Amino acid sequence: MTRMMFSASLLLMAAALFVSPAGAIVVLSHASNVATYIGQPFTSIEFENPLTGNEQVMGRQVLDWQDADYKAGPPPWYDDWTVGPGGLIDGNVNEIWLRQPGQFGKATTAVPSNTISVHLLGDNNDGIAAVFVDGVEVCRADMGTRPNSATLVVLVKYLPYQTHTVEVVNLGPGQFGQDVAILGAAALGEGPDKWSQPVVPADVGPLYYGWNEPSMEANQTIAADDWVCETTDPVTDIHWWGSFLGWNGQEPPSLPDYFRVKIWTDVPQGPGKPFSHPGQKIWEFDTPGYACQFVGWDFDPRTAKYEACYKFDYVMRPDQYFWQDPGVHIYWVSIEAVYMSGVDPYIWGWKTRPRDPASPAPDCAVIRDPAGGSIGWKPLRDVIVDGDQWDLAFYLTTTPTLEQVKYEQPPVLMEHPEYGQVIYGWDEPSNYYMGPIVADDWPCNDPRPVSDIHWWGSYVDWFEPVPPPTAPHAFHIGIWTDSPAGPVPFSHPKQLIRDWIVPRQALNERPVLPDFDPRTGKIADMCFRYDFDIPDGEWFEQPPGDNIFWVSISAIYMSPTQPEWMWGWKTRPHTFMDAAVRIRAPLAPQPGALYEFGEPIYFPQSEPCDMAFTLTTKGSIEQRIKWYQPPEEFTTDKIIYGWDEFSVYANEQIVADDWLCKTNKPVTRVEWWGSFLGWNELVLNGISS
């Protein structure tokens, strides 16, 4: 540390201030904010940790005590102090002794305070000590005293409210010797006042550290943040925090009509990509009927201003659920305010929060605007406050079914040298009316009902992440009994016993990954996933015991002619019993219809193939968190309860208050608090921040 010594503006020469008896401690100089006290009883200024709470120094409570004790080593122990350099530095159970010129002891208080005290002890072989606080010399004294030892308390007042570093330096020989003995240093509370009537901190509720980042459809400015998905449970609820620029009321201003939520794929950081950002939009929904509640205040570290903060919650409809495939995936979510009748003057923004360096999400949040460059996105790490990168405050929850999977036969993934992860299989045409209809068998050995059906499919030669314009308008889903192999050399469906016709728009259709067709050895098309949440009362109940059923899934087209991009059910390597079957007749079955003829699906020759689907069942319900990134709370006592009462000399009003005087001691210092009407900028040392 650089020490500032002998400041003419701060130090007063002791010769003009002290008349010391021969053999006593002599204060050579001290700063104007320092008081020195010689001869205090040793037991009244030497403390031990932990403190009892009753310790005081010159009428001020001891908030923290940095004890300077010594114990021989190896290595030697100096309690709360560090010492140096080299040579002999020893002491006893109450003191540290600096034996040579240039040696020092240093400690830092553990709690903030405006006042500290440094405690020294002098005897018949002590020399000159210099006391530094935060790198500035505040006192210098010749500690030699005869015939008895004596104490010196250096009381340093009017310091910034913070922790302070104290350093005691041996400057060499004095009138009797050259040692310097340190007892310790204390952080002190406020001293005895003639009258004290301080401000009252306000209890304003939770405080959040961050600002409202604008994200509105009308402004073409979108904020987005990444999150990690590790389970297949759907996102069923979304929760986020935000505020309105310049708004301080607990009741919100004009609220957005709704919010638009989008889910995006991830473009990872890499060559030519300096930061990760959203890729393709794969899911979108609006939030009519969202909930909004006041939850506290946010502090903008860029402007030092406060605004009201609100939490928003939306429970999604089942057709809005966002389903994910097995494995660990990174997605992005964006949330945009939508105003039907124009943007409110108090602009809505999504609440930021400092990025957690331990977050499994790989990057900070991003914003998208017309000036975003070729990528279109800009990272919030470009907006750095206190060295932080910034994320956005939100969390995602799911209300999944317990014991969810009844039977699982999902698509098979593989690594492609050019395309990365792809789905192994092709789209097997399955069309109601036009035919054929594809079905696959599955085992049922428990009585839990089938409440949901999930499957995968694609469109021949269609590579886009959205369905083609000729996509089917609905799907037929059927449950069949089983006909084991017998006269017919393969097992097949027997009789249709349940069916549903479901509009495609109600099936949560969304892109997953490209297909790899093993028949051609090429990337074929984009694979989509479908989810059918069977209405309550229509669940498929099975009889007790071990059963085998078949499920058929076929597209329904309005046109009787074959579309340009025909839909097909996704194949996968064989899993259970026999191969999947193409039903050639009947082509428009209804409950009670019997299988007439068809053939199994093989590839390569004589190798059975199955279809990609999963059956689930609903049990008891519990809500789980899929991703949690709330706003960051902080505490402060800097918010004051009260207002600024106008008081200007030679103007229309001055303000006065009474106080009670109980002693004849003079008033030597006056402190008061005030503010400026309508001004909420933070100013430090005359510089607005």
**pLDDT tens column, 93-107:** 999 999 999 999 999
Rounded to whole angstroms, the Cα distance separating 467 from 622 reads 34
Look at residue 304 and tell me whether its pLDDT is greater than 70. Answer: yes
Residues 459, 608, single domain; the answer is yes
Residues 390, 412, single domain; the answer is no
Model confidence band, residue 2 (pLDDT cutoffs 50, 70, 90):
very low
Look at residue 14 and tell me whether its pLDDT is greater than 70. Answer: no
Torsion of CA 96, 97, 100, 106, to 10 degrees: 20
What is the span of the domain harbouring residue 168?
Answer: 11-188
Model confidence band, residue 5 (pLDDT cutoffs 50, 70, 90):
very low
Between the alpha carbon of residue 19 and those of residues 12, 15, 16, 25, 27, the distances in Å are 14, 8, 8, 11, 10
254 within a domain of the structure (yes/no):
yes
Mark which of 594, 616, 638 sits at the end of a domain. Answer: 616
Mark which of 398, 423, 442 sits at the end of a domain. Answer: 398
Residues 243, 274, single domain; the answer is yes
Look at residue 512 and tell me whether its pLDDT is greater than 80. Answer: yes
161 within a domain of the structure (yes/no):
yes
Position 427 scores a pLDDT of 93
20 within a domain of the structure (yes/no):
yes
Position 387 scores a pLDDT of 60
Q: Beta strands 104-108 and 412-416: pairing type?
A: unpaired
Which residues fall within 8 angstroms of residue 587, CB to CB, at 6 or more apart?
Answer: 432, 433, 434, 435, 436, 437
- The answer to which of 186-190, 368-372, 517-521 has the lowest mean pLDDT is 368-372
CB 125 within 8 A of CB 179: yes
Number of neighbours of residue 186 by Cβ within 10 angstroms: 30
443 within a domain of the structure (yes/no):
yes
Number of neighbours of residue 115 by Cβ within 10 angstroms: 22
- State the total domains in the chain: 3
The amino acid at residue 652 is E
How confident is the model over 76-125, as pLDDT tens digits?
999 999 999 988 999 999 999 999 999 999 999 999 999 999 999 999 99
CB 368 within 8 A of CB 376: yes
Token pair belonging to 143:
């500690």
Residues 94, 20, single domain; the answer is yes
Strand partners, 132: 137, 167
The amino acid at residue 329 is H
How confident is the model over 272-291, as pLDDT tens digits?
888 899 999 999 999 998 99
pTM of the predicted structure, to 2 decimals: 0.46
The amino acid at residue 668 is T
Residues 510, 390, single domain; the answer is no
Position 191 scores a pLDDT of 66
Residues 364, 274, single domain; the answer is yes
Which residues fall within 8 angstroms of residue 413, CB to CB, at 6 or more apart?
Answer: 327, 421, 422, 423, 424, 513
- The answer to which of 392-396, 510-514, 648-652 has the lowest mean pLDDT is 648-652
Between the alpha carbon of residue 483 and those of residues 59, 476, 480, 546, 613, the distances in Å are 97, 21, 9, 15, 21
Residues 170, 249, single domain; the answer is no
Residues 242, 260, single domain; the answer is yes
Helix, strand, or coil (residue 663):
coil
Q: Beta strands 510-517 and 420-424: pairing type?
A: parallel
- The answer to which of 437-441, 590-594, 633-637 has the lowest mean pLDDT is 633-637
99 burial (CB, 10 Å; 0-12 / 13-18 / 19+) is middle
Mark which of 569, 594, 616 sits at the end of a domain. Answer: 616
CATH code at position 62: 2.60.120.260
Q: What is the mean pLDDT of the chain?
A: 86
- Which helix or strand (DSSP H or E) is residue 44 part of? helix 42-45
661 within a domain of the structure (yes/no):
no
How confident is the model over 576-632, as pLDDT tens digits?
888 999 999 999 999 999 999 999 999 888 789 999 999 988 765 566 788 888 888
Residues 423, 369, single domain; the answer is no
Residues 156, 45, single domain; the answer is yes
End-to-end CA distance of the chain: 28
How confident is the model over 353-412, as pLDDT tens digits?
988 888 899 889 998 865 555 568 888 875 656 567 899 999 999 876 554 788 999 999
Q: Which of 350, 343, 243 is nearest to 293 (CA)?
A: 243
The amino acid at residue 141 is A
665 within a domain of the structure (yes/no):
no
Look at residue 204 and tell me whether its pLDDT is greater than 90. Answer: no
Residues 421, 439, single domain; the answer is yes
Model confidence band, residue 198 (pLDDT cutoffs 50, 70, 90):
low
Token pair belonging to 142:
């010749």
662 within a domain of the structure (yes/no):
no
Residues 431, 545, single domain; the answer is yes
657 within a domain of the structure (yes/no):
no
Helix, strand, or coil (residue 120):
strand
